[in-house]
Amino acid sequence: MTVLMNYARMFSLEGRTALIAGASRGIGLATARAMAHQGAHTVLAARSSAALRSEAADLRGAGLSARSIRLDVTDEGSIEAAAEACPDADILVNVAGTNIRRRFEDYTREEYELIMQTNLHGIAQLTRIVGGRMAEGGRGGKVINIGSLMSVLGLPYVSIYAMTKSALAGLTRVLAAEWAHADVQVNCIAPGFILTDLNRDMWEPSRMTDWLHKVQANPRLGTPNDIAGLAAFLASSAADYITGQVIAADGGYTTTAKWPFEPLT
């Protein structure tokens, strides 16, 4: 007898609670919106309390389930408070991050510590509490880390950022192995060149977009929604057999190359 699959249910997040760390703008906000529209009770977390309250109110106004909490990933107490304010989270998306572009030898100690705490140490602490609760509770769950192209390759002038994003890729693989017994899937998205407030100035010179057009299979800059859709998929039961992966969403940058050759006709 053929078993009919409820495909809509596979991609639904109804009955799930999603905590989005770093949800005030960019990829985090787009992901929060996507998951809310897929039926999750979505908790938007970031430092920008007023902006978060407004975004959560907009989602509720659209008939969706959402609330906001304050989270500063550079503050241990704030991390613990946010985790305790969301005890039933079974989806955790770690988006919070920052970047400073310099030659490696020019970073100050303060800049090093800020990037490390924001992109790695605070995320690790939040994941230990929220993800650990999923694993210990035995109810399963999803942890989705937002890495970077720097999780899989190197580009100049982002050395400290690259250290943190490479570490997130490693953490993803290890936690996928450690928490598999509890039906917790852990994956990492490696966004390509996504236009956000963190890099908007960098992409203003035409030489940057001209270069991208020459080297990337899909020549456009990405948008936060290009990442949000993948995150919503990884949070769904359709992705239950995917774990420990670093998945590039990058227009083909890491896997393809373009050249001027044209075949003779």
Active site residue 161: yes
Q: Is 182 exposed, middle or buried (0-12, 13-18, 19+ CB in 10 A)?
A: middle
Of 107, 161, 241, 253, catalytic: 161
- Spatial distance between the Cα atoms of 60 and 42, rounded to a whole number of angstroms: 10
Largest CA distance in the chain: 67
Chain-centre distance for alpha carbon 249: 11
Q: Which residues contact 232 (CB under 8 A, 6 or more apart)?
A: 11, 13, 31, 34, 35, 38
CB 17 within 8 A of CB 90: yes
Distance of CA 62 to the CA centre of its chain: 24
Give me the active site residues, please. 161
